[in-house]
Amino acid sequence: MPEQLLFAAEVTLNGLMAGVLYALVALGFVLIYKASGIFNYAQGVMALFAALTLVGIMEGQVPFAHLINITFGTEIHHFGWHVPAFLAIVLTVGVMVVFAWCVNHFVMRHLINQEPIILFMATIGLAYFLEGVGDLMWGSDIKRLDVGLPQGINEVIDQVTFDAFGYGFFIDNLDMVATVIAVILVAGLVIFSQYTKQGRALRAVADDHQAALSVGISLNYIWVLVWSIAGFVALVAGIMWGAKSGVQFSLSLIALKALPVLLIGGFTSIPGAIIGGLIIGVGEKLFEFAIGPMIGGATENWFAYVLALIFLVIRPQGLFGEKIIERV
Amino acid sequence: MNQMAGNYITEDGRKIGGVIMEMKHITLRFGGVVAIKDISFDIHEGEIRAIIGPNGAGKSSMLNVISGFYHPQEGEVWFHGAKRPPMKPYQVAEQGIARTFQNIALFDGMSVLDNIMTGRLTHMKTGILAQALWKGAAEREEVTNREVVEKIIDFLEIQHIRKTPVGRLPYGLKKRVELARALAAEPKLLLLDEPMAGMNVEEKEDMSRYILDTNDEFGTTIALIEHDMGVVMDLSDRVVVMDYGQKIGDGTPDEVRNNQQVIDAYLGVAHD
Ligand SMILES: Nc1ncnc2c1ncn2[C@@H]1O[C@H](COP(=O)(O)OP(=O)(O)OP(=O)(O)O)[C@@H](O)[C@H]1O
Ligand SMILES: [Mg+2]
């Protein structure tokens, strides 16, 4: 096989795996948008917050340590224990559920029937608030997140492809794990929404609020549920991203990468979020590989947005979208 | 007929039970608009109770008060002999009150079967964890729910469209699916807001038959809003007449038909 093709194949594979992460973040958006018509700008910050909380709990960090120390003149920082990863993840899920409840109780339920733009503004406020809270709770330094996921080049794939083509593919173990976990997560969500009482109620609310009310569904319950699920998805994305490049505030910027994913996939479609994520992941890697060198590189910063713009012009509702997104 | 005694026998020989729902001095305002003005009436167990009146009389508002979508500024709602605190629609549904809407509210993206299954939500008790951990109970529940739903699909003769996405159905069938979803809840009280609006004569006859059969076979108490006087006279045991938010008549179809105030306000007005 010609060398260029092999490179391209490797780049495509890596792109697919990067796309999985985009898809995960976009999925969080779609869930909330479908159920409540809210475009949740805070989804990226939620991923950051979840990852920060996870690290904090694992390391036994005292939340709000800085605030406490300043107020009481103390010098506490750590509880002096380490929490195992699994337990810490469970606790973090708990924190995200509490967060979901607070969002609904203190903000969203007061904004029922407001214009989408008002709801959107509320989530922008929420994003900055949550960023501040995360900062105050856990500090703003970059943190290493190690939940025991395998990292580094996968030797087996390297060896096998080398034997077959005379060129060893570089595939990161972490990317592979992320892909597997994302697939499990999506399968779980599908089973949940198709076969459980709550899933059915969730689909009902996403379809028609009035009808959902009449069959005995509590909208508040569903909204807390859907924000909790979005929080969980954010946690998963936060773990993957955090394990890859450390937990830092740039994590919240992946939300901006999810936007072109949504423009391509449609705001209301779960398959759309996944396929949109993969298209962008592969597209930006291949573009950088093939065209990048000719135009000075760093195309990954803007390629996704240009692609999304092209999609906007050709197919404004996205690949799988139901509604024209100009409503947002 | 003696209303005050509670139980009575209808002309066609059905036994009507005691009061199941009672509205006491309900007043509902939207800003300056008084949609309902000090209205009281009751609904007996097993009867078909109609609410009629010209456009904008406040009929839908009344149904919305019963089903918890609107909350009156004044008055009390009594259900099963107890005063009901202000309730959300989902709580009302859990109490066994199902409804349809004047403008049809279905889940357009779901199949007919899935739509009707959502009517069973109030009967699904198993929680998320139980469903994940203990499949048996959840499956048994699902089987029971499916049986009820199948029975209703047969009853309303919609087998042929069970897999069709509701959004693609013609208007008349949508109305029927909405009725099916309400029936799936096996309600104690069924509220129908203009179940025959926009239908042709044949469809109206079918719908009338389903309503009568529902009442007959399942003993469901029904409160319905309808414009078509002929239909109302045929279907209902007792009729409340509203006009400009006020009650101007209450009684059997015959009594109402001969009430001068009703004739002036309602029967004289042409309707679509
Ligand atoms: N949600 C609402 N907000 C403001 N006003 C309302 C609302 N719902 C009803 N109204 C007003 O209350 C009055 C009664 O309306 P309602 O829908 O109950 O009448 P109706 O008897 O059902 O009429 P129709 O035969 O046209 O369905 C009308 O003046 C209507 O404009
Ligand atoms: Mg009406």
- Residues A74-110: pLDDT tens digits? 888 888 889 999 999 999 999 999 999 999 999 998 9
List the domain boundaries for chain A.
3-255
Query: Among the three residues B120, B154, B186, which one is the final residue of a domain in this structure?
Result: B186
Residues B169 and B208 in one domain: no
Report the pLDDT value the prediction gives residue B1, as an integer from 0 to 100: 45
Distance CA A191, CA A184 (A): 10
Query: Among the three residues B186, B212, B238, which one is the final residue of a domain in this structure?
Result: B186
- The complex scores an ipTM of 0.89
- Residues A188-225: pLDDT tens digits? 988 888 888 898 899 999 899 999 999 999 999 999 99
Residues spanned by the domain of B78:
1-96+187-272
B36 CA distance to ligand 1 middle (Å): 9
Residues B89 and B212 in one domain: yes
Distance CA A10, CA A24 (A): 22
Residues B133 and B162 in one domain: yes
Report the mean per-residue pLDDT for chain A: 88
* Phi, psi angle pair for B240, to nearest 5°: -100, 135
Mutation choice for B interface testing from A195, A197, A225, A232 by most B CBs within 10 A? A197
Residues B76 and B198 in one domain: yes
CB contact A191 to B (< 8 Å): no
User: Rounded to 5 degrees, what angle do the CA atoms B192, B193, B199 make?
Assistant: 100
- Residues A106-161: pLDDT tens digits? 999 898 878 889 999 999 999 999 999 999 999 888 888 888 888 888 888 889 98
Starting from the CA of residue B58, give the closest ligand. Answer: 1
Look-up of token digits 């909204």: A223
Least confident of A256-270, A313-327, B183-197: A313-327
Query: Among the three residues B138, B163, B186, which one is the final residue of a domain in this structure?
Result: B186
Band (pLDDT 50/70/90 cuts) for residue A327 is very low
Starting from the CA of residue B228, give the closest ligand. Answer: 1
Band (pLDDT 50/70/90 cuts) for residue B221 is very high
- The whole-angstrom distance between residue A257's C-alpha and the CA centroid of its chain comes to 10
- Residues B49-80: pLDDT tens digits? 999 999 999 999 999 999 999 999 999 999 99
Number of domains in chain B: 2
Residues B13 and B81 in one domain: yes
Residues of chain A with pLDDT > 90: what percent? 41
- Cα distances (Å, whole numbers) of residue A117 to A175, A299, A312, A326: 36, 31, 20, 11
B193 CA distance to ligand 2 middle (Å): 7
CB contact B118 to A (< 8 Å): yes
Residues B18 and B120 in one domain: no
Distance CA A178, CA A241 (A): 9
B61 in contact with ligand 1, CB cutoff 6 A: yes
Highest-pLDDT range among A170-179, B88-97, B252-261:
B88-97
Q: What integer is the mean pLDDT of A240-266?
A: 84
- Of B117, B121, B126, nearest to A217 by CB-CB distance is B121
- Residues B131-182: pLDDT tens digits? 666 667 777 888 889 999 999 999 999 999 999 999 999 999 999 999 999 9
Amino acid A22 reads Y
Residues of chain B with pLDDT > 70: what percent? 92
Sign of CA dihedral A97, A101, A106, A107: positive
Distance CA A28, CA A44 (A): 9
CATH number (domain holding residue B259): 3.40.50.300
Residues B127 and B69 in one domain: no
Q: List the shell of residues around ion ligand 2, using CB closer than 5 Å.
A: B 60, 102
Distance CA A322, CA A207 (A): 11
**Residues of chain B with C-beta less than 8 angstroms from the C-beta of A212:** 107, 118
Question: Of B59, B234, B19, B271, which Cα lies nearest the Cα of B257?
Answer: B234
Pair type for strands B48-52 and B238-243: parallel
- Give the 3-state secondary structure percentages of chain A, helix then strand then coil, rounded to 5: 75, 0, 25
Report the pLDDT value the prediction gives residue B3, as an integer from 0 to 100: 46
Q: Which two tokens stand for residue A272?
A: 């759309």
Least confident of A36-40, A62-66, A255-259, B259-263: A255-259
Task: With a cut of 70, say whether residue B130 has pLDDT above it.
Answer: no
Residues B14 and B73 in one domain: yes
Q: What integer is the mean pLDDT of B251-266?
A: 85
Residues B163 and B208 in one domain: no
Residues B195 and B66 in one domain: yes
**Which residue, judged by its Cα, is nearest atom 29 of ligand 1?**
B56
Stated pTM of the model: 0.86
User: Which residue from B minimizes the CA distance to A206?
Assistant: B107
Question: Of A38, A59, A196, which Cα lies nearest the Cα of A120?
Answer: A38
Nearest 10 degrees: Cα torsion B177, B180, B181, B187:
150
